[in-house]
């Protein structure tokens, strides 16, 4: 009896598969063309004018009510289809200042001007073009198959993710007030570290709080031969950099992940000149808010007191500045994440749906769930070709991953899996 019931349930759960798979197989060539067009026309953060217009047009074609220019070039579309919860599906739209070096026929040749005025190459090196293509496919499938679900869709095309600013800007501009407030929020992000066909879900903290800190180490310059009449900011900067390493190792529990990295240090001009300034730039990562607060306070305490320990006068102690570009941690509600994982397993098969470890990277998708007080989850979509992935296992060759000028997703398989996985999750939530 139990085995007959199990068989029946398997048959029932598989009945919907052919509809989605037939649809995606028919639509895939068009989606790959869309992907290649998006890949060839990347736009930098805060400059996503054409990309957002394209996303708005796609939603309109599918019958969504669309609002544009939310928090800059943000776009939101609502599709109502009877009673039921509201599901937010986000794609991010910006690209990176990188000269593409993939050699692909559809490689980007775009150049643009950064906010600071210098010209750069532009590349979708973080795969946001895959995100937009999958999002477009999911929107089209759901719009064309309304009999399969009941509820409301909120599709969000978010700009300026790479600056950690786009989701905050959209929410501050009243995203939910202008549209609807979601009951669930979903997104995906590509990864070169998994093969095409696979997805990975992390329960709990998936991505980290990201903070940027500047430390200005002030000094009193002079001749390199007479350090006793100067306050050497380079020697002090070295003490600070070394001292900062003790924060995570000595002050934070080994069970609370945190990172303090000094990514930039600049000071001095010549062998025999003691300068009067060194600039440090730090990235700080954490999950828990309390750990974040503790690490940031410790950085200031360490920098200022190293100055005192080095005998610097109070008016020359280091200045510590927390920049206004915080990205909050992305917390994947465990129960919600397990729910969508099982929906994906029913569509993709158990072998294709993995538990993914947390990472200390940042993703400003983490704001959408807390702003609506609803569960949210972002999952990983594998984009490395099976051949490349196999070769990396056999030969140990590194896989080009996001933010690399050689990052080259294998589009058709990744888009197919992304649409099937995201559609499975949304349909499960809107039954």
Shortest Å distance, C-beta 190 to Zn ion: 8
Beta carbon nearer to Zn ion, 378 or 424: 378
Pairing of strands 277-286, 273-274: unpaired
Beta carbon nearer to Zn ion, 320 or 330: 330
Shortest Å distance, C-beta 161 to Zn ion: 6
Enumerate binding residues for Zn ion (CB under 5 A).
Answer: 126
Shortest Å distance, C-beta 96 to Zn ion: 7
Shortest Å distance, C-beta 170 to Zn ion: 16
Beta carbon nearer to Zn ion, 126 or 317: 126
**Residue 319: enclosing H or E segment and its boundaries?**
strand 319-322
- Reported for 335-338, long-range contacts at CB under 8 A and 24+ positions apart, including other chains, are 335/375, 336/184, 336/375, 336/376, 336/377, 337/201, 337/202, 337/203, 337/377, 337/379, 338/203
CB atoms within 10 A of CB 213: 21
For the chain, report the end-to-end CA distance as a whole number of angstroms: 27
Beta carbon nearer to Zn ion, 142 or 408: 408
189 within 8 A of 132, measured Cβ to Cβ: no
Shortest Å distance, C-beta 90 to Zn ion: 11
Beta carbon nearer to Zn ion, 160 or 304: 160
Shortest Å distance, C-beta 334 to Zn ion: 23
Shortest Å distance, C-beta 54 to Zn ion: 18
Who's near 122: CB < 8 A, 6+ residues apart? 42, 43, 44, 95, 96, 97, 98, 108, 110, 111, 112
User: How far is Cα 263 from Cα 39, in angstroms, rounded to an integer?
Assistant: 29
Who's near 43: CB < 8 A, 6+ residues apart? 49, 50, 51, 93, 94, 95, 110, 112, 122
The DSSP line for 250-264 is IIS-TTS-EEEEEEE
Shortest Å distance, C-beta 125 to Zn ion: 7
Beta carbon nearer to Zn ion, 317 or 381: 381
**Residue 121: enclosing H or E segment and its boundaries?**
strand 119-121
Beta carbon nearer to Zn ion, 126 or 274: 126
Beta carbon nearer to Zn ion, 191 or 385: 191
Q: How far out from the chain centre does Cα 371 lie?
A: 17
């Amino acid at each position: 009896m139990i085995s007959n019931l199990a068989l029946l349930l398997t048959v029932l759960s598989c009945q919907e598969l052919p509809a989605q798979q037939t649809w995606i197989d028919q639509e895939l060539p068009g989606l790959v063309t869309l992907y290649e067009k998006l890949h060839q026309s990347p736009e930098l953060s805060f400059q996503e004018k054409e990309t957002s217009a394209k996303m708005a047009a796609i939603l309109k074609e599918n019958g969504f009510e669309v609002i544009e220019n939310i928090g800059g070039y943000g776009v939101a579309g609502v599709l109502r289809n009877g009673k039921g919860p509201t599901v937010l599906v986000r794609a991010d739209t910006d690209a990176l200042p990188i000269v593409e070096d993939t050699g692909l026929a559809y490689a980007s040749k775009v150049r643009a001007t950064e906010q600071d005025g210098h010209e750069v190459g532009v590349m979708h090196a973080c795969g946001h073009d895959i995100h937009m293509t999958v999002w477009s496919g999911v929107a089209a499938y759901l719009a064309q198959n309304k009999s399969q679900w009941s509820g409301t869709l909120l599709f969000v095309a978010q700009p300026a993710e790479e600056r950690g600013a786009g989701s905050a800007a959209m929410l501050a501009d009243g995203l939910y007030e202008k549209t609807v407030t979601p009951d669930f929020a979903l997104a995906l992000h590509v990864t070169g570290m998994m093969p095409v066909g696979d997805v990975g879900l992390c329960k709990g903290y998936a991505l980290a709080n990201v903070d940027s800190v500047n430390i200005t180490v002030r000094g009193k310059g002079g001749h390199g031969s007479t350090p006793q009449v100067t306050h050497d900011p380079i020697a002090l900067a070295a003490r600070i950099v070394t001292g900062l390493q003790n924060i995570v190792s000595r002050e934070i529990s080994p069970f609370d992940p945190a990172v303090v990295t000094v990514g930039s240090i600049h000071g001095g001009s010549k062998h025999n000149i003691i300068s009067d300034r060194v600039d440090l730039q730090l990235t700080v990562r954490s999950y828990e808010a309390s750990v974040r607060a503790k690490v940031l306070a410790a950085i200031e305490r360490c920098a200022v007191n190293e100055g005192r320990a080095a005998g610097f006068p109070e008016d020359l102690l280091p200045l510590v500045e927390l920049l206004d570009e915080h990205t909050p941690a992305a917390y994947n509600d465990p129960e919600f994440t397990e729910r969508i994982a099982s929906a994906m397993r029913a569509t993709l098969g158990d072998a294709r749906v993995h538990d993914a470890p947390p990472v200390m990277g940042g993703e400003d998708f983490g704001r959408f769930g807390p702003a609506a007080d609803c569960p949210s989850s972002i999952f990983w979509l594998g984009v490395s070709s099976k051949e490349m992935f196999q070769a990396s296992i056999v030969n140990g060759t590194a896989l080009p991953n996001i933010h690399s000028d050689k990052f080259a997703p294998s589009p058709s398989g990744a888009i197919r899996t992304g649409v099937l996985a995201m559609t499975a999750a949304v349909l499960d939530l809107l039954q």
